[in-house]
Amino acid sequence: MTAEVIAAPRVLSRAEASTLVGFRVEPQPVTVTTATIARDAATGDPVYAYLPVDGVAGLRRAVLATPWQETFRATSGKRNASRVFGYSPRKVATRRESCNRTALAREAPDTHRVLVDWSARLGETLRAELPEVAADGETQAQRVLPEWRLGEAEPWTSGVVNRTSELPYHRDGFNLPVWSAMPVVRRGVAGGYLHIPEYGAVVECRDGWALFFPGYDLVHGVTPMRTTTDGGYRISVVYYALSGMKDCFTAAVETAHGQATRSKRERDMAARLARGDRGFKRSDPNSQPVVGHGIPKKSAP
């Protein structure tokens, strides 16, 4: 399918868009329903690409089998079901001492494999339609060791599967400046469009289509959705490049480093227990779900 190239005028400044961050997206009609590559009307810079992707049946089977983790989102008062995949960086605050594969790779290897395979398919689509964006992404991704990338020719390190999530306005604050790719599978759900207010774009996000856009830069959010048939779903899969991954050593070094840090923590804990020290909690670093797709917690009101 040939995508139509459109000149998109900017309708909100970056600062104006920032004031929306953390707020719910109002219901609104779709404005982008066909294969489109949008370029800024003034600068010619690419803004987003909305394209069909072949072979959605395999992706649908894989994501419907996701072992979801439910989280409660205070901003919307709604339950959110999601799962991260790919690689996760070190995060000392949650005692995740080393860069690692996400738990989904062990828990649901078949689903995980399909998600990783789709990275190649999406990368190919982006390279074909917007080679300059793909090249810029590759330059950024060079800051990450190859073993922490989902595919050798794609810039993404990680992703998240979101089920029927009305995400408030945000920027993807934990990402390298690399465009995200977001295929959607859906049945029997109305709404759930992606709004990019700076360009007044309300993208339909139809079944089997993918949106490519700079989520690290452009404010975006998901319009409310409503299930129209029993068992309806709207599942988005977002591929992104986490900036934390550029600080990861090789997997072998990470494993050794993680073991050393864990052993030291366990020795410290034992020493504190022996002293009768309280006021610290055990926690499982892998039990900390990452909500949304790189939404910094501080952005929520």
- Report the nearest approach of Fe ion to the CB of residue 58 (Å): 24
Structure tokens at 197: 């207010």
The Cα–Cα gap between 47 and 43 comes to 10
Measured from the CB atom, is 197 or 215 closer to Fe ion?
A: 215
Residue count (the chain): 301
Question: 14-73: which residues touch Fe ion (CB under 5 A)?
Answer: none
Measured from the CB atom, is 234 or 285 closer to Fe ion?
A: 234
86 near Fe ion, judged by CB under 5 A: no
- The correct pick among 129, 172, 204, 254 for binding Fe ion (CB under 5 A) is 172
- Report the nearest approach of Fe ion to the CB of residue 286 (Å): 23
Measured from the CB atom, is 60 or 220 closer to Fe ion?
A: 220
Residue among 235, 249, 222, 243 at smallest CA distance from 294: 243
Q: How many CB atoms lie within 10 A of CB 138?
A: 15
- Report the nearest approach of Fe ion to the CB of residue 146 (Å): 25
For residue 91, the 8-state DSSP code is: B
- Report the nearest approach of Fe ion to the CB of residue 194 (Å): 9
Phi, psi for residue 189 in degrees, rounded to 5: -135, 130
215 near Fe ion, judged by CB under 5 A: yes
DSSP strand E in 207-272: where? Answer: 209-213, 221-222, 225-227, 233-240
- Report the nearest approach of Fe ion to the CB of residue 38 (Å): 17
121 near Fe ion, judged by CB under 5 A: no
- DSSP helix/strand/coil, 260: helix
With b for 16 or more beta-carbon neighbours within 10 A and e for fewer, the 193-229 pattern comes to bbbbbbbebbbbbbbbbbbbbbbbbbbbbbbebeeee
Measured from the CB atom, is 169 or 233 closer to Fe ion?
A: 169
Q: Binding segment for Fe ion among 27-35, 147-155, 166-174, 263-271 (CB under 5 A)?
A: 166-174
The Cα–Cα gap between 68 and 102 comes to 13
149 near Fe ion, judged by CB under 5 A: no
- Report the nearest approach of Fe ion to the CB of residue 50 (Å): 15
Measured from the CB atom, is 240 or 254 closer to Fe ion?
A: 240
The Cα–Cα gap between 195 and 222 comes to 6
Q: Binding segment for Fe ion among 56-64, 77-85, 242-250, 288-296 (CB under 5 A)?
A: 288-296
- Report the nearest approach of Fe ion to the CB of residue 186 (Å): 17
Task: Tell me the number of residues near Fe ion by CB under 5 A.
Answer: 3
197 near Fe ion, judged by CB under 5 A: no
Burial of 32 (0-12, 13-18, 19+ CB in 10 A): buried
**Binding residues for Fe ion (CB under 5 A):** 172, 215, 293
